[in-house]
Structures are given as C-alpha cells and as structure tokens.
Structure 1
Amino acid sequence: MKYRYVAIEGIIGTGKTSLAQKFSSDFNGKLLLEEFDENPFLPLFYEEPQRYGFPVEMSFLAERYHQIKSKIQTKDLFQPIFSDYIFEKSLLFAHLNLSEDEYALYKQIFKIITNSLPAPEVTFFLYKKPEIALENIKKRGRSYEQNITIDYLDDLQSQYIGFFKQKLDWRVIFIDSSNLDFVSNNHDYDFLCSLLNREFNEGITRIIP
C-alpha cells in the first residue's frame, strides 16, 4: 500500500471504527481508535449539552492529543497506522457544540498544540446520508447516543465538508458509502482496500462506487 498513516472520517454512524479495524487487521497496521468509554462527560453531554459541552470537548482534545503524540511519533516505518479520526475533528465538534465564548477559548488551546502533530497521508471521508447514519446509531444501541437528531448529523457533515474544502494540501477521498456494506460484503470492502494502492493528488477526490 502507498500510505503509512490513513485516517477514516465521517459523521457518527458511518462505520469509521469498523473500517479502521478491518484495515489494521488485514494490513498488519497499528490501530488508533477514539476511546468514547473513557470520557466520563459524554453521557452527561447528551443529556445536558450546554452544561457539559466544554468539558466533554476538552476531555476528547486531551485524549486525542496524547494518543496521537505517543503512537505516531514513534511509528514503525514498516507498519502502517489506521485511525478512525483526525485530530482536527476536535475543532469541528467544538464549533458545533460550544457557545461562542467557549469556542474562542477552545480554539486558542487547540492552536497551541496542533502544530506538533502530523497530518494523515490520506483521509477517507465516508459520506453517508444522515437518515442512514441515524438508523445505524439506533441499531448499535449506545444509550447516550439515542437523542442524536438528523439535524445534528446534517450540521456535522456540513462542518466536515467545509473543513476539508480548505485543506488543499491534504489528500481527502470523499466516498459515497450510503450503499456500501464493507463489513458484510467482501466486494465492497475489497473496493475500499484497492484505494489504498492508488496514488491520489492533494485536495478532494470524489468517489461514487
């Protein structure tokens, strides 16, 4: 494969973690996963978002920073890294979840630490219709996610798209995954695997399977 640091992104319920796990297993890679269960504020945030928005975002920021700093700075040149997030998602969720004053403070802290972290060599963005993503969220049954709305997912997807349009020096692959089942369908998964061997230009590449 052509890339040593691959990030999988998308809104909640798109299968980011499942794809990162399959890639890591099949390509003998290191795996970086969001540690939702380690964030004590997350269930509280979904109950009272205005009260717990700032602590939940700061907790995620610290966890993502320490994970990337410890695992990627010491990466094995012969072992690829697969992650189910980009560090910059911290800023996108904060913009969506925090008040104006809270976001201004958060952004200052984010800028201080982000310069020391590497960007992925390629990012797969799993585009999925919010209605389908919400169905997936309901199916997996995490109690604290059951209040997520289609409007929230739609706003989040807009945040991602706007961000990636500005990252002209990144390789970002927009994949319409609304009709893909890469967990159960080998043909769909093999198609995504083939993308790891393709040379992509910087900027956004749109792929409709």
Structure 2
Amino acid sequence: MHIAITGNIGAGKTTLTQMLGQHYGWEALYEAVEGNPYLADFYKDMERWAFNLQIYFLNSRFAQVQRIRSLTYSTTIQDRTIYEDAFIFAKNLYDSGIMTQRDFDTYLMLFDTIIKAVQPPDLMIYLKADIPKLVHQIKKRGRDFEADISVDYLQNLNNYYEQFASKYDHGRMLVIDVNDMDFANNPDDFNSIIEMLNKELFYA
C-alpha cells in the first residue's frame, strides 16, 4: 500500500511519518527539505526563487512516486504528496503574486504531464492544525530558513489545505485534528492515531 501524510508546514508530517514507519515496519519517504538547494533562498526572496523551488519539489516527488510503484511487495508511507505541490503551494504562490503567470503556466504544463503517470495513495492522512499550533511547532524545531515564515503565509496555506481536503476525490482521506495532540511525546495521543488508522486500514 501507499500511505501519504499531508498537512501544512509544522503540522507534524515528518515526525508522524517516521513514527508510523517504525510502528508498522513501513518504508518511509521524506520530503526533500534537508539539502534542498533552493529552500533557504526562497524564504529570503520568494519572487526570485518560487519557480525553481516548485520545480525541484515536483521532480523530487515524482521520483518518490516512481520508487513507490517499484516497491511492489511493501507498504510505503510518504511525507507530503505531489498533489500539494500544485494545488496548494504553487497555486498559493501564483495567487499571491509571487509566481508569475508565465512560470505558473509552465509549471502546470509540467505537472499535468507528470500526473498522468501517477497513481494516488491508497490512503491520505491529513493533519489539520491551526496557526498557533503550526507556529509553535516551527519555532520548536528551529530551522534557520523557516524563521522568517509569516503568519499570513501559513494562513493562506491553511486555507488552501482546507479547500484541498474538502474536494479531494482521488481516494480515501483520514482527517486528524492535531491541535490538542502531542503524539511525538504523549503515547496516548500516538495510540489514538494508531486506532484511527487501524480502522481505516483493516476494517474499512
């Protein structure tokens, strides 16, 4: 199976991907954040680097999907999906005037070509978090390149995530409100996620 975790910056996707991978013995694939050659530059000058960053992420995600398809006999859990690249991040950059019409059109042409060769996840897990939770998590992990992320930027992304979740029709989606959760440090919170996930995986 292909399980994917979606959610805004700071929602806890990477941590939960790691924890679920360990719990179930799944192979975990992570977003290309560490070592990404554009991310730090993007947060300093979004207009200059928006297109470059989105192309990098799109290519990275497509490579992950190809790898997932090659792993015929194992279950994979993926940190963020290719759908978010286009429907949330690139769209937000375009609607905000950060990405030009020309770059957005070029990006969508490439995305439309790639998506024809992509199969959706068997299950999408959406980690729903409000701005205070996201800001707290971002500050807690202390990545230098995320220090200048604005609340307005996070709120815009949250709005797009809500739209994406409400219209998602590519397969099953499990929505988990993580505002009052600390699954990384509280075993009860993590166990509640396991219970919800087991119902989706084994009893749906």
User: With structure 2 as the length reference, what TM-score do the two structures score?
Assistant: 0.91
The answer on 1:106 being equivalent to 2:101 is no
The answer on 1:94 being equivalent to 2:95 is no
Return the match for 2:77 from 82, 92, 102: 82
Return the match for 1:56 from 41, 53, 56: 53
In the other structure, the counterpart of 1:131 is 132
Deviations 1:30-85 (A, max 9, x none): 1110121232111000000001111111111111111221x2111243x3211111
CA distance in 1 between counterparts of 2:108 and 2:60 reads 16
In the other structure, the counterpart of 1:185 is 186
Distance change (3 Å), C-alpha of 1:75 and 1:179: same
SS of structure 1 residue aligned to 2:63: helix
CA distance in 1 between counterparts of 2:161 and 2:63 reads 23
The answer on 1:67 being equivalent to 2:37 is no
CA distance in 1 between counterparts of 2:138 and 2:179 reads 14
In the other structure, the counterpart of 1:142 is 143
Contact 1:131 1:150 (8 Å CA) reproduced: no
Deviations 1:190-209 (A, max 9, x none): 11111222148xxxxxxxxx
* Long gaps (5+) in structure 1: 201-209
User: What are the within-5 Å matches in structure 2 for residues 138-177 of structure 1?
Assistant: 138-177=139-178
Determine which structure has the larger helix proportion and give its number: 2
CA distance in 1 between counterparts of 2:137 and 2:200 reads 31
Contact 1:27 1:80 (8 Å CA) reproduced: no
CA distance in 1 between counterparts of 2:167 and 2:159 reads 13
CA distance in 1 between counterparts of 2:83 and 2:161 reads 10
SS of structure 2 residue aligned to 1:174: strand
- Cα deviation, residue 169, structure 1: 4.0
Contact 2:120 2:170 (8 Å CA) reproduced: no
Contact 1:134 1:149 (8 Å CA) reproduced: no
Calculate the aligned-residue CA RMSD, in Å. Answer: 1.4
**Which residue identity lines up with residue 90 of structure 1 in the other structure?**
D
User: With structure 1 as the length reference, what TM-score do the two structures score?
Assistant: 0.88
Contact 2:51 2:103 (8 Å CA) reproduced: yes
CA distance in 1 between counterparts of 2:145 and 2:92 reads 18
* Long gaps (5+) in structure 2: 94-98
SS of structure 2 residue aligned to 1:6: strand
The answer on 1:30 being equivalent to 2:32 is no
CA distance in 2 between counterparts of 1:57 and 1:13 reads 19
